[in-house]
Amino acid sequence: MKEIASLARIVTLRRLRNEPLLDLDARQPGKETQLATILAADAHITGAQAAKQIYGKGSEASQTAFSRLRARVQDKLLNHLFFLDHTDARLLVARRYELECLDLLHKVTILYLEGEYRLSERLLRRCLREAEKGEFTKYAEQACQRLSTLYAEQRQLHKYNAHKKKLAKLRQLLVYEQEAEQLYTEVSLTMARAVTMRRTLLPKMPGYIARAEELHQQADTFATYLALYRLRVLYAELTGHYDEVIRYTTAATQQLRQGKLNERRFDQRFNQFMSVYAHLRSRQYKAGLKLAEDFAADLHPTSNNWFYFYEHYLLLALHAGEYDHALRLLHVAHKNPSFPKQRPTAQERWQLLQAYVEFVQPEEMLPARRRNHMATSALLMVPEFTRDKRGHNVAILLFQLLHYLRQRELEPVLTRLERLRKYQQRHLRDAATLRSRTLLRLLMLLPEAEFDAEVLAKRGQQRLAQLSQAPMVGDADAEVEIIPYERLWELTLDILRVGKPQ
């Protein structure tokens, strides 16, 4: 009882005078709770609108009062972060266990400063156990360091020496883990850069993987395993060996089931996403679509990877020719409240996907107002080559061409064909761009055949065969095919059968 009595004394005597939290369940909510409720319901509401709802008028005095209210509410909302529910199984699997360690370290810091050493020791030992179960080496090192300091101050030499040895081992493991994590971070940062920079990774990747293997052999921790696993997957992506990605993900799932991977750390959803992505790139569309359907329920709509997963889910539907399914997935994505919170580049990718999905729908599936949607209008204004559209430039130019073909506008069609020709000359010269280059050569036949669909079908047979035989390439070189190029060629002929551009 003494420890609880000491804790009660600390909390009673040193508590804040003003309540640090919002009473979100109050029957008669105050202005602070009202503001939090308003903001949760509408993230786009302006300060003036919120002030008017709370104070009933927009006077200068109410604006001043609202500024103070907003500051208080923000502080209290930040305090609520200590009391969030992290047990939802759809969230990142490691989150709950990592935050438990951080919570214990935070409490220990306060208790130690208050001179409560016995309770500090108990919580530190608990933190160390939890950190070791979850293989959170950095938190285990912090707990062990604080225990060593505690034992040294209390002159408990035996306990100090035992934790001194453990601390040295943990610090060495941390060095190995940090190097492995840095290897992966540098590679992933390069992957986010231009195509030319990603190509420089290819000759370096075997060396990076060899070093990661050495680090994992030395440390044998989850962090070194994860860095090595992700480097192997990235290398397979870069080289276009997507069957290898499927093999890696399948092996990881088996290891998890056999208890060889830490279930508190390994997020099976990353594995699921990579498996779906690999099925997309290896043209196993039906199988990939089935996997995506099975895995979708495991992703929380608020997670960072939800939209990225649904991008590939939608692409699988498009590649499988299930356009009605793709339209439903597009609606699901737009209904997610986090859709406007995505980065501008991510929103632009969704804009491109939306334009294609709506383009391939039968006219009766879309109301008239959607056929000239802002997504289409925005894409028609994109320059012929922009660095921030890495991997999507061909898809954008192709969409522009198809749009004007359907509109039967000759001059814009000829303009886009010229842009495609210039883009091919400048950026599609490597062997890895064979599929894009072959499709563009097919499209260059349009004016030669005077946009006659039957003539084009005959003249394009040989190149269409070459296109079908051209291999999918790695991420270091690939232009994204939102719809398979073979199907785009068929779509082009179908449009021309309806009518030629004038």
Contact 79, 20 (CB under 8 A): yes
On the question of pLDDT at 181 being above 50, the answer is yes
Q: How many helices (H) and strands (E) does the chain have?
A: 26, 0
Quote the tokens at residue 168. 């040295």
Confidence at residue 464, expressed as pLDDT on a 0 to 100 scale: 93
Quote the CA–CA distance of 75 and 73 in Å, as a whole number: 5
Confidence at residue 412, expressed as pLDDT on a 0 to 100 scale: 92
Most confident of the ranges 54-68, 208-222, 467-481: 208-222
3-state class percentages of the chain: helix first, strand second, coil last, to nearest 5 = 75, 0, 25
CB atoms within 10 A of CB 70: 16
Task: Give 388's pLDDT tier (boundaries 50, 70, 90).
Answer: very low
How much is the CA Rg of the chain, to the nearest whole Å?
A: 29
Cα first-last separation, the chain:
90
Quote the CA–CA distance of 205 and 210 in Å, as a whole number: 9
On the question of pLDDT at 90 being above 50, the answer is yes
Task: Give 366's pLDDT tier (boundaries 50, 70, 90).
Answer: low
- DSSP class per residue in 399-460: HHHHHHHHHT-HHHHHHHHHHHHHHHHHH--SGGGHHHHHHHHHHTHHHHTTT-HHHHHHHT
* Model confidence, pTM: 0.78
DSSP H or E run through 222:
helix 222-239
SS3 of 91-143: CCCCHHHHHHHHHHHHHHHHHHHCCCHHHHHHHHHHHHHHHHHCCCHHHHHHH
Torsion of CA 336, 342, 348, 353, to 10 degrees: -30
Q: Name residues whose C-beta falls within 8 Å of residue 28's C-beta, 6 or more positions apart in sequence.
A: none
Q: How far does Cα 241 stand from its chain's mean position? A: 22
Task: Give 12's pLDDT tier (boundaries 50, 70, 90).
Answer: confident
Contact 150, 194 (CB under 8 A): no
Confidence at residue 387, expressed as pLDDT on a 0 to 100 scale: 45
Q: How far does Cα 228 stand from its chain's mean position? A: 20
Confidence at residue 449, expressed as pLDDT on a 0 to 100 scale: 92
Q: Name residues whose C-beta falls within 8 Å of residue 429's C-beta, 6 or more positions apart in sequence.
A: none
Confidence at residue 382, expressed as pLDDT on a 0 to 100 scale: 55
Mean pLDDT of 300-317: 90
Query: If we measure between CA atoms, which residue out of 59, 40, 37, 34 comes closest to residue 48?
Result: 59
Confidence at residue 365, expressed as pLDDT on a 0 to 100 scale: 61
Confidence at residue 62, expressed as pLDDT on a 0 to 100 scale: 85
Place of tokens 């004394």: 9
Quote the CA–CA distance of 373 and 358 in Å, as a whole number: 9
Query: If we measure between CA atoms, which residue out of 263, 268, 232 comes closest to residue 253?
Result: 268
Mean pLDDT of 453-464: 94
Task: Give 127's pLDDT tier (boundaries 50, 70, 90).
Answer: very high
Confidence at residue 385, expressed as pLDDT on a 0 to 100 scale: 44
Most confident of the ranges 15-29, 110-124, 467-481: 110-124
Confidence at residue 377, expressed as pLDDT on a 0 to 100 scale: 63
Contact 495, 402 (CB under 8 A): yes
Quote the tokens at residue 332. 């699901």
Confidence at residue 150, expressed as pLDDT on a 0 to 100 scale: 96
| Listed range (24-38, 130-144, 155-169) with the worst mean pLDDT | 24-38
Indicate the average pLDDT of the chain. 89
What 124-129 contacts at long range (C-beta under 8 Å, 24+ apart), as own/partner pairs, is 124/150, 127/101
Three-state secondary structure call for residue 317: helix
Quote the CA–CA distance of 455 and 457 in Å, as a whole number: 5
Q: Name residues whose C-beta falls within 8 Å of residue 307's C-beta, 6 or more positions apart in sequence.
A: 333, 336, 338, 339, 342, 346, 350
Task: Give 266's pLDDT tier (boundaries 50, 70, 90).
Answer: very high
